[in-house]
Structures are given as C-alpha cells and as structure tokens.
Chain A
Amino acid sequence: MKITFIEYDGTAREVEAAQDDTLRDVALDNLVPGIDGDCGGGCACATCHVFIDEEWQAKLPPLSDDEDMMLALCDDRTEASRLGCQIKLGPELDGLVVRTPEGQH
C-alpha cells in the first residue's frame, strides 16, 4: 500500500506500508519527520498527532474515548486530528494522505 506524508512545510513523501501497520509505525520505520511516538504506540503521549483530510475520515477506524482523551492535549487539534498509533491500515486506506503538525508536544 502507499501512504503519502506531507510535512508542515509542504514536503511530501510517498512510502510503502503493509496491511495492519499503524500510521505511527509506518512513519517511524520510514524516518518520516514530524512524528515522535514517544510512548511506543500505546495511546499515551499524543506525539504521533496527525491530520487526515475530510475525504478519508469516513474510512478511518472510529475515534475511541482513550484517543479522544489524549488528543485533547494537542494545542493544535482540529476536526482532522487523529493519533497515528490508533490508525491501523486496511486496504481501504491505500493512497491515504497524512499531514504532520508543526511540532509534537
């Protein structure tokens, strides 16, 4: 599958991903800047904060209470905000475009 990451400054990168990878792991494995994932993927640090465009929102796994609780920590949270560690990739997400924030906090 192909995932495109777009940095805050507009730099775009297309990377390979496998089914069931999380966005966080795909980013870290491919050295995509702008995502830290400090807690190791446990929905516990909100440093894998990403923005997903509206057109893809319906295809994402639903937002859990735990994810919502952590996203609340992000000063730059928008409607498009998700945590990368909570998005497991399925075939419906092939071609997904992911934007990363100015910085992780």
Chain B
Amino acid sequence: MPTRGVAEDTEEHMQANAEIQSVAAERAYSVPLSEIDVSDPKLHQADAIWPYFSRLRQEAPVHYTPDSDFGAFWSVTRYKDIMNIETQPKAFSSEAARGGITIMDGNEVATLPMFIAMDPPKHDAQRKVVSPIVAPHNLAKLEGLIRQRTAERLDELPLNEEFDWVQEVSINLTTKMLATLFDFPYEDRHLLTHWSDIATTLPGAGLIDSEEERMVEVQACAEYMTRLWNERVNSEPGPDVLSMLAHSDKTRNMSPEEFLGNMFLLIVGGNDTTRNSMSGGLLALNQHPGEYEKLAANPELVQSSLVPEIIRWQTPLAHMRRTANTDIEFAGQKIRKGDKVIMWYVSGNRDERSIDRPNEFIVDRQRPRQHLSFGFGIHRCVGNRLAELQLRILWEELLQRWPDPMQIEVTGQPKRILSNFIKGYESLPVRINA
C-alpha cells in the first residue's frame, strides 16, 4: 500500500517555526500596536499568530494596518464584532468587483463571479439553487455512500507503521466526497483536489510561482468542467451539483465566468476545509490526551459535541474579507468607503468574551455549535451540514476500529500550510497502534 514519505519537512523548518513562535510571544506585546501585521502567512504557518490576536482583541479590536504585503486592511478580532459585520451585507460587501472575500488582491480565481463573492439579490438567487443539494434531507441519501467509502479507506490503512494522515485519509476521503457531489468521473477525481489547491495557493508556496501559472491551470479546469456541463445540459436532470446548475432557470444561462467561479467555490469550499478538519481533529486529540481519553470512554460524544468543537478548534478558514460600501463608524473606528475589512475567524473562535475557556479543546463542551468557522449571515457556509456529516462518520468508523485513547497516534510535527486564509496541514505523520 503506497505511503508517501512523511513530513518531507526538515528539522530546519520546525526549528524556524519554534523561533518564530518565541519571538511572537515577546514581540506581540512589546511592539507598538501600529506595527502589528497579522496578515503575515509565515506567522500563520508557524502557529505563532495567537499572542498577536490576543493583544488586538484586548487593546484594538478593530485595528488598522496601513501597509502590508496585502495592502491596507482593518482587522476585526472579536466574535461579536465579526458577527455584526456579517449580518450587515449592505454596509459590508462581498462583491468580487470590490475585491471579493479574501485579503489577497490579484488572485483572479478569487475575483471570478461566484455567489460567495456576490451581494443580494444575485447572491440569493444562485445560493438557492445549490442549497438543496446539501440540505439535511438530501444528506441522508449520501450518508450510506460516505460511510462505505470511509470504511473501505480505513480498512486499507497500514497498521503499526508511520504514514501521512493528510494524504492517506483527509485528502483521500474529501476528494471522493467532492467527486460524488459533482458526479465527477471517478478516475479523474484527483483533479478536483489539484484545482482546489491551485485556486487558493499563494504564488511561491510550492505549487505555482505566478498568477499566470495559476490561470493556466484554471483554464484547464474550465475546459474540463465545460465539457461535463455540456453533457449534463443534454441529459436528464440528476441529483448532482453540476446537473442542478445546468437545469435550474436561475443558473443554466450563467456566463462562462460565473460558471467557472461557482465551480471553484464548490470545489474549494467543499475540499480543504473538511480536509483540514479531518487532520486537525486528530492532532487536537493527540495534543490533549485527557480529551482523547474522555472521547474513548464516551464515544457518543461523536454525535453531539466532538465535531463542532473540532471545527471551532481548527477554524479551517482563518479569515473572510468584506469591503466597506460607505464610510461607516464601527466599534468606535471610522472605516472609509472602499476599505478592506478582515474578519479573523481564527481570532473570534478564541474570544473569551463569547466562548467559555476558548483556548481549551473540550470534546464535551456545553455550547459547541457557537463558533465562527462557518461564518454567519447570508453567506454562512451552505455545506456546513455535509462537513459535519463527513467528520461524524469518520470518527464513528475510527473509534469502532481503534477505540483506545492515543491508539491513532500522531508521531511527529505537522507541517502547516503557508497561508493566512487556509488554515491547514500539508502533512501529519501518524501511526495506528493495533
């Protein structure tokens, strides 16, 4: 059974991270507030952002960074403030033409027309087409297939030897899920993962070196998807996303750009977020052995609180962005029309003002569903229940096979993704002790 060499990363990378973390702990509180820039992807990759966000929440909950690699931006770091912004789509726009929903400008995929980066009324019309596919009654139909694939995969995993959980479990399962949603040719499903990664990667992080390269790959995706679209348009309506888009009045006359944009939305939205929660949950349990013991003793927690707590803890998307439609005073700060406003979910999910003991990973937390990872307001993640379903099934099947605490053991350091948007893992070395 093929296993990738784990943690291709070197001692050097891990050392560098440790240094960045210790510098951050000191620097976060000693530099002037005006010098704090939480957009630095290296801070996120080194898992060193936390002291900066703690300080901002406390001292400057709506904080302006006048210059960075991503331009000027406001950081909103408290849970309630983030929720406030998300429930004011008229004042804070998601529109692609104004910059879209990530901090990065110039990523042409992120500025393709897709409903996450639209305002009402167009947003509503397009979301409504996709929403039923991932609504609870439809998910019930998918559950059997998800469980079957999960079970098959887990039964293929090597025992008592190290392998990379990210490749062998997280990417493997979420790719299959996406292929199912799209009724995508199964043998080509790796393309979905590939295009998803290409869409969000930073040039220079290892996959592409330029925006031009990105667009070459995007074009390949466009051609493939267009071919599939044409097949679906000319067939009877089916239960997959492509077919629904191809047959609905609201979307079948989408422009090629809109079609491509919405494809990327669904591929990205449904892909590495769930993937990184699958990895992050295992890591969290290993880092908190008392919680892993609690879970092992109470496997019914998988049905109630485990999954939302994993999703909160991981916060698979570190931020979402809005653009101010007018001059607006918010939390005592004067935001100007056109300003970029970054809602740092990763900070809000650790906000002690809204979440009890937020810096603890607690598998039987009282109010586990109160977190920002799916966002709030009209853009709240449409796939949230599907994500939860996949994670629930994964943990049910894992605990059935390997029920003892620490039996699924993380054996080394994770390598984190270089990004201030995608919060996740390139690799996670694991050994199943059976």
List residues of chain A with CB under 8 Å of any chain B CB: 36-40, 42-46, 66, 69-70, 72-73, 75-76, 102-105
How near does chain B come to A67, taking the closest CB pair, in angstroms?
11
The residues of A that contact B87 with a CB separation of less than 8 Å are 42-44, 66
- Please encode chain B, from 113 to 149, with 1 for each CB lying within 8 Å of some chain A CB and 0 for all others: 0000000100010011001101111000000000000
A41 nearest in chain B by CB position: B370
Q: B27 an interface residue at 8 Å Cβ cutoff?
A: no
Alpha-carbon separation in the docked complex, A36 to B378 (Å)? 17
A-B contact pairs, 26 of them (CB 8 A): A36-B369, A37-B369, A38-B374, A39-B370, A39-B376, A40-B370, A42-B87, A42-B376, A44-B87, A44-B377, A44-B380, A45-B376, A46-B380, A69-B89, A69-B120, A69-B378, A70-B377, A70-B378, A72-B124, A72-B128, A73-B127, A73-B380, A75-B128, A102-B136, A102-B137, A103-B136
Alpha-carbon separation in the docked complex, A66 to B120 (Å)? 13
Within 8 A of A (CB), among B55-88: 83, 86-87
- Is the beta-carbon distance between B135 and A38 smaller than 8 angstroms? no
- Please encode chain B, from 73 to 117, with 1 for each CB lying within 8 Å of some chain A CB and 0 for all others: 000000000010011010000000000000000000000000000
Partner of A75, one of B131, B376, B377, B384: B131
B380 nearest in chain A by CB position: A45
How near does chain A come to B177, taking the closest CB pair, in angstroms?
18
The residues of B that contact A39 with a CB separation of less than 8 Å are 83, 370, 376
Partner of B83, one of A42, A72, A75, A76: A42
Q: B385 an interface residue at 8 Å Cβ cutoff?
A: yes
The residues of B that contact A36 with a CB separation of less than 8 Å are 369
Within 8 A of A (CB), among B373-391: 374, 376-378, 380, 382, 384-385
The residues of A that contact B83 with a CB separation of less than 8 Å are 39, 42, 44
Alpha-carbon separation in the docked complex, A66 to B128 (Å)? 18
Alpha-carbon separation in the docked complex, A103 to B261 (Å)? 29
B371 nearest in chain A by CB position: A38
The residues of A that contact B127 with a CB separation of less than 8 Å are 73
How near does chain A come to B305, taking the closest CB pair, in angstroms?
13
A39 nearest in chain B by CB position: B376
The residues of B that contact A72 with a CB separation of less than 8 Å are 124, 128, 378
How near does chain B come to A77, taking the closest CB pair, in angstroms?
10
- Is the beta-carbon distance between A73 and B378 smaller than 8 angstroms? yes
List residues of chain B with CB under 8 Å of any chain A CB: 83, 86-87, 89, 120, 124, 127-128, 131-132, 134-137, 354, 367, 369-370, 374, 376-378, 380, 382, 384-385
B368 nearest in chain A by CB position: A38
Alpha-carbon separation in the docked complex, A44 to B376 (Å)? 5
- Is the beta-carbon distance between B385 and A103 smaller than 8 angstroms? yes
How near does chain A come to B383, taking the closest CB pair, in angstroms?
10
The residues of A that contact B135 with a CB separation of less than 8 Å are 75-76, 103, 105
The residues of A that contact B367 with a CB separation of less than 8 Å are 40
Partner of B86, one of A37, A38, A44, A46: A44
The residues of B that contact A102 with a CB separation of less than 8 Å are 136-137
The residues of A that contact B136 with a CB separation of less than 8 Å are 102-105
A72 nearest in chain B by CB position: B124
Alpha-carbon separation in the docked complex, A44 to B372 (Å)? 11
Alpha-carbon separation in the docked complex, A19 to B378 (Å)? 30
Question: For A39, A42, A102, which residue has the most chain B Cβ atoms within 10 angstroms?
Answer: A39
The residues of A that contact B131 with a CB separation of less than 8 Å are 73, 75, 105
Alpha-carbon separation in the docked complex, A42 to B378 (Å)? 13
Alpha-carbon separation in the docked complex, A72 to B124 (Å)? 8
A105 nearest in chain B by CB position: B135
The residues of A that contact B370 with a CB separation of less than 8 Å are 38-40
How near does chain B come to A45, taking the closest CB pair, in angstroms?
6
Alpha-carbon separation in the docked complex, A37 to B367 (Å)? 10
Extra 7 A-B pairs, beta carbons < 8 Å, given A66-B87, A69-B120, A105-B384: A38-B370, A38-B374, A42-B83, A70-B377, A102-B136, A103-B135, A105-B136
Partner of B385, one of A43, A44, A76, A105: A105
The residues of A that contact B384 with a CB separation of less than 8 Å are 105
Alpha-carbon separation in the docked complex, A37 to B384 (Å)? 14
The residues of A that contact B374 with a CB separation of less than 8 Å are 38
Q: Which 7 A-B pairs have the closest CB atoms?
A: A103-B136, A44-B376, A38-B369, A75-B132, A75-B135, A44-B87, A105-B135
The residues of A that contact B137 with a CB separation of less than 8 Å are 102-103
How near does chain B come to A24, taking the closest CB pair, in angstroms?
12
Alpha-carbon separation in the docked complex, A84 to B384 (Å)? 20
B88 nearest in chain A by CB position: A66
A73 nearest in chain B by CB position: B378
How near does chain A come to B364, taking the closest CB pair, in angstroms?
15
Alpha-carbon separation in the docked complex, A46 to B380 (Å)? 9
How near does chain B come to A104, taking the closest CB pair, in angstroms?
7
How near does chain B come to A50, taking the closest CB pair, in angstroms?
15
Alpha-carbon separation in the docked complex, A66 to B83 (Å)? 13
